[in-house]
With several copies, the nearest count.
Chain A
Amino acid sequence: MIVTRVAQELKPGSVVNLGIGLPTLVTKYLPEGITLQSENGMLNMGPPAPNGEADPYICDAGGKKVTILPGGCFFDSATSFGIIRGGHVDATVLGALEVDQNRNLASWMIPGKMVPGMGGAMDLVVGAKRVIIAMEHCAKDGSPKILKQCTLPLTAANQVDLIVTEKAVIEATEQGLILREIQPGSSLEDILQSTEADLIIPEELRG
């Protein structure tokens, strides 16, 4: 549900970078005419290579052997992040540990526990024209992930544009988080209970 809803946000003709994990699953539901960018140096990334036919020198940002589609190209990391930082990527879809009502994102480390490094995420969040967060609404222990203020080290400040979870679609604006859609199977009450951040609820979504 998260994945299909995110796919609807991606406009034909746009250049999109999908993060590792949940966002990668969006690939299957992409509309026609999306160009996928992979930060390790590829435009028009294609699906994983069929077994035994993989080119050992073409991988995606997760290290998985993939293909390149016709019209694609390869380039080095400085160019790749020039494309990203320079605003030539229309949207990035990323997972998150925490998001807050100031459009902050924390996604890259849990001090003392998990420090994989930020990889390309910090550049992507700052550079992409639109930052879409695709994540479960709550952490595995049930605690809220959409907070008044992030507690974990940030990936970037004030950059999140949209949050899509299995419960809600939330627009992140300078005025605050605006609830845009209640996902099928959820309810306003459910969302309010599982969200720490203040939500702006438009008239049409109030009971």
Chain B
Amino acid sequence: MPKITDAATAIKQIKNGDTVMIGGFMAVGTPENLVDTLIEQGTGDLTVICNDTGFIGIGIGKLIVDHRITELMASHIGTNPETGRQMNAGEIKVTLMPQGTLAERIRAGGYGLGGVLTPTGFGTVVEEGKKTIEIEGVPYLLELPIKADYALLHAKVGDKAGNLMYHGTMYNFNPVMAMAANTVIAEVDEILEDSFLPPDSIHTPGIVVDYLVKKAW
């Protein structure tokens, strides 16, 4: 059973220097309350794993603008020019990788796999430093798992067993991140206090969710 609590209580366990996965694609599926609380609490020096850095003032963009991230793994930073500026100025270390590779690497972390072979990125700078393995004459890159101390998710509905259901494109990286972090904090628009989500319609099983926070603003 997850602890149902407020954002401040759930977020304060995150320390400077921790590795944090944050769900969302262009800020849809990003837990804005949890991000705001990280900023309020002054947590910094974070390694953040996410698809993109949102926009200035929206989603993960807020953590960038406030210089809370020292290391970033993402697939796209183009919608937030401040990320590119900090990268070029050497203020932040950025590792860019293909979006599908990012998804598989996080999944591998959470699913106990040692890695996956993907054709994506072969023949490009993405292959630098990676092992190439040929299977039936086709070259693949060996991509390694990614894990984190925390995953911050955003779902539409959570029940008291911690089961989550997303809606629309907020789904994106949230389900794989839920499996790949030691501690999972989910911000949800609605908490079912007296009932449960239907067992055939659950996107993230409650056993991996440690804290449920009701979205408050």
Interface residues of A (CB under 8 A from B): 13, 15, 33, 35, 37-44, 55-59, 62-63, 68, 70-88, 104, 112, 114-123, 126-127, 153-158
Min distance, Cβ B159 to any Cβ of chain A, angstroms: 7
Q: Is the CB of B100 within 8 A of A81?
A: yes
Q: Is the CB of B77 within 8 A of A157?
A: no
Q: Is the CB of A117 within 8 A of B100?
A: no
Min distance, Cβ B50 to any Cβ of chain A, angstroms: 11
Can you name 13 extra interface pairs (CB under 8 A) apart from A117-B74, A120-B98, A122-B126?
A: A38-B169, A40-B26, A73-B163, A73-B197, A76-B172, A81-B104, A82-B100, A84-B100, A84-B112, A87-B112, A114-B78, A116-B76, A122-B100
Question: Which of B74, B102, B169, B180 meets A59, CB within 8 Å?
Answer: B169
| Contacts known (A73-B163, A77-B172); A63 close to B79, Cβ less than 8 A | yes
| Contacts known (A56-B28, A77-B51, A120-B98); A71 close to B196, Cβ less than 8 A | yes
| Contacts known (A68-B199, A71-B159, A86-B112); A41 close to B172, Cβ less than 8 A | yes
Min distance, Cβ B135 to any Cβ of chain A, angstroms: 14
Q: Is the CB of B206 within 8 A of A73?
A: yes
**C-alpha gap A40/B112 in the complex (Å):** 18
Interface residues of B (CB under 8 A from A): 1, 25-29, 51-52, 55, 74-79, 84, 87-88, 96-104, 107, 109-113, 118-126, 156, 159-161, 163, 166-176, 179-180, 196-197, 199-200, 202-203, 205-208
Closest B residue, CB atoms, query A44: B161
| Chain B hits for A74, CB < 8 A | 166-169, 171, 199-200, 202
**C-alpha gap A78/B107 in the complex (Å):** 8
| Chain B hits for A75, CB < 8 A | 171, 202, 205
Q: Is the CB of B28 within 8 A of A88?
A: no
Q: Is the CB of A40 within 8 A of B172?
A: yes
Q: Is the CB of B174 within 8 A of A85?
A: no
Q: Is the CB of B75 within 8 A of A120?
A: yes
Q: Is the CB of A59 within 8 A of B99?
A: no
**C-alpha gap A165/B123 in the complex (Å):** 25
Q: Please, could you name 27 A-B residue pairs with CB atoms under 8 Å apart, sorted by A? A: A33-B1, A40-B28, A42-B199, A57-B170, A58-B169, A71-B159, A71-B161, A75-B202, A77-B100, A77-B171, A78-B107, A78-B175, A78-B176, A80-B100, A80-B172, A82-B107, A85-B113, A88-B208, A115-B96, A117-B74, A117-B78, A118-B76, A121-B98, A122-B121, A126-B122, A127-B100, A157-B122
Q: Is the CB of A76 within 8 A of B171?
A: yes
**C-alpha gap A169/B161 in the complex (Å):** 33
Q: Is the CB of B120 within 8 A of A85?
A: yes
| Chain A hits for B126, CB < 8 A | 118, 122
Q: Is the CB of A83 within 8 A of B205?
A: yes
Min distance, Cβ A146 to any Cβ of chain B, angstroms: 19
Min distance, Cβ B106 to any Cβ of chain A, angstroms: 8
| Chain B hits for A33, CB < 8 A | 1
Q: Is the CB of A117 within 8 A of B124?
A: no
Question: Which of A35, A40, A117 meets B207, CB within 8 Å?
Answer: A35
| Chain B hits for A57, CB < 8 A | 28-29, 156, 167-170
Question: Which of B84, B99, B169, B179 meets A115, CB within 8 Å?
Answer: B84
| Chain B hits for A39, CB < 8 A | 99
6 interchain residue pairs of minimum CB distance: A116-B78, A81-B100, A157-B123, A63-B26, A71-B161, A85-B112
